[in-house]
Amino acid sequence: MFKESPIIRRKSRQIMVGNVPVGGDAPIAVQSMTNTLTTDVAATVAQIKALEAVGADIVRVSVPTMDAAEAFKEIKKQVSVPLVTDIHFDYRIALKVAEYGADCLRINPGNIGREDRVRAVVASARDKGIPIRIGVNGGSLEKDIQEKYTEPTPEALLESAMRHVDILDRLNFHDFKVSVKASDVFLAVGSYRLLAKQIDNPLHLGITEAGGLRSGSVKSSVGLGLLLSEGIGDTLRVSLAADPVEEVKVGFDILKSLKLRSRGINFIACPSCSRQEFDVISTVNELEQRVEDIMTPMDVSIIGCIVNGPGEAEVSDLGLTGSSKKSGFYLDGIRQKERFDNNNLVDQLEARIRAKAKLMDKANQIDFKEITE
């Protein structure tokens, strides 16, 4: 089994979104976006902090009006995670949020009008060290591109993206990332593949408007998984019609499955069958909820019988192998004399997981200290 990802990532230049590096050899950043009214400062701050608590590296905030820009000023004071401001058309809003400390401007330069307006936004971004994100969407292509291609195609999304890229290149501004999102998996994947060959800037991945929690997670996993497995992508957002916190969780799950990032517990659990000696499904579901706060990378296998259990446990940090009345317990791949009562598995496993996480965290701190001394 692979301990590290066999994926070779596309080489891209690196930009900084606040204190988070994006591109180059930096970890793939996981993003989400608030869905509160930005003018409701308290609600927006609360949601940003909830996203940060589950590991969001970057959070995007919509700023459609000057009132929202003023609210952003107050929001920025109360949070520490880098904030991307989502702006469309009005260059004055971009200038205002840049003044108020935005960590990235999501604004397409070709959509903000006259040359002097574009230059003003770029000059402000350059002066304050703020990157720009170009965001192309298959559902909102320019009218002439729609007429040229008659329907969204990878070539159409590429042409739209390159129009904006060319503007920034002409102004000698290179600190930007690009997305070419679509709700259709094949359209999005095809567009990103073309774009990856054209530029070396970081790419922000997403299957836009993917759907509800279940269907959207599946669609995003398929689309983003295809691209990530080819080494394409430097940051991502899973777009769901659900609590934004779920977007972050699914995003990390996708990266964990490809061994591109390790954060939190990776549960390996059987789908259960008539061989199971305990209720695997309820055990895993309850345990996942209980240990959501643990961010230490760890593999935990929970298998209901002795057919596949030992093999999975031997390559896990913690492993449970179902047996009659009491189940076998493995630590670091080694079978322990201790056995767990099948009537009280969740409490026993939670205690062991937390103890293991503390030991791993302590070991990592010692290793870091040795490296830095």
Average pLDDT over residues 165-177: 97
Nearest residue to 345 via CA among 323, 367, 370, 313: 323
Q: What is the pLDDT of residue 209?
A: 82
Q: What is the pLDDT of residue 188?
A: 97
Q: What is the pLDDT of residue 182?
A: 95
Using one digit for the tens of pLDDT, what is the confidence trace for 313-347?
999 999 999 998 999 999 999 999 999 999 999 99
**Domains, the chain, ordered by start:** 15-257 (3.20.20.20), 265-372 (3.30.413.10)
Q: What is the pLDDT of residue 272?
A: 78
As annotated, the binding site for [4Fe-4S] cluster includes 270, 273, 305, 312
Q: Give the sign of the dihedral formed by CA 195, CA 140, CA 185, CA 249.
A: positive
Q: Which residues contact 180 (CB under 8 A, 6 or more apart)?
A: 136, 138, 157, 158, 160, 161, 188, 191, 192, 195
Using one digit for the tens of pLDDT, what is the confidence trace for 205-248?
999 987 899 999 999 999 999 999 999 999 999 999 999 999 99
Is residue 254 over pLDDT 70? yes
As annotated, the binding site includes 270, 273, 305, 312
Q: For the chain, give the mean pLDDT.
A: 93
Two structure tokens written together for 64: 């459609």
Global confidence as pTM: 0.88
